[in-house]
Amino acid sequence: MAYDKNNVFARILRGESTCQKVYEDKYTLAFHDIKPQAPVHVLVIPRRASPDMQDFTTRASDAEIAALHRTTARVAQLTGIAEAGYRYLCNIGANGGQEVPHLHVHVFGGRPLGRMLPPT
């Protein structure tokens, strides 16, 4: 997937669009999803201009890859969902249902989340 520099998360990273920030560090930014699907629904994104997980794991440094995971766990702690449990989900490409072409991990929690996928 080619990287679109004008996607909404790129604009958030450049400060051209606002977000409700939860956490940030050198490699990552975490903010509340604009249309939450659970009481807690946070998105974790890398600062690297990477369209998806395939590109990210090929091009990013080990430190950047580790940071994405660490930030996800930290977000669960900061939002109070770590102890009860939560879901960490990444949509990739068309079949994965990815809408925004900048890699992001969804962190859902705050209620029982049910089955992993809807029955077919």
The C-alpha angle 69, 70, 71, rounded to 5 degrees, equals 95
- Identify whether 41 is a catalytic site residue: no
**Side chain identity at residue 62, one-letter code:** D
Is 8 a residue that touches ligand AMP (CB under 6 A)?
A: yes
Q: Taking the C-alpha atoms of 14, 72, 32 and 95 in order, what is their torsion angle to the nearest 10 degrees?
A: 90
Are the beta carbons of 105 and 42 closer than 8 angstroms? no
Return the number of other C-beta atoms located less than 10 Å from residue 13's C-beta.
Answer: 19
- Shortest separation between residue 101's beta carbon and ligand AMP, angstroms: 8
Is 15 a residue that touches ligand AMP (CB under 6 A)?
A: no
Between residues 8 and 82, which has the closer beta carbon with respect to ligand AMP?
8
Is 34 a residue that touches ligand AMP (CB under 6 A)?
A: yes
| 23, 24, 33, 73: residue in contact with ligand AMP (rule CB under 6 A) | 33
- Shortest separation between residue 91's beta carbon and ligand AMP, angstroms: 4
Between residues 83 and 99, which has the closer beta carbon with respect to ligand AMP?
99
- Shortest separation between residue 83's beta carbon and ligand AMP, angstroms: 24
Burial letters for 37-70: b for 16+ Cβ neighbours within 10 Å, e otherwise?
A: ebebbbbbbbebbbbbbebbeeebeeebbebbee
**Catalytic residue ranges:** 104
Which positions lie near ligand AMP, rule CB under 6 A?
8, 17, 19, 33-35, 43, 91, 97-100
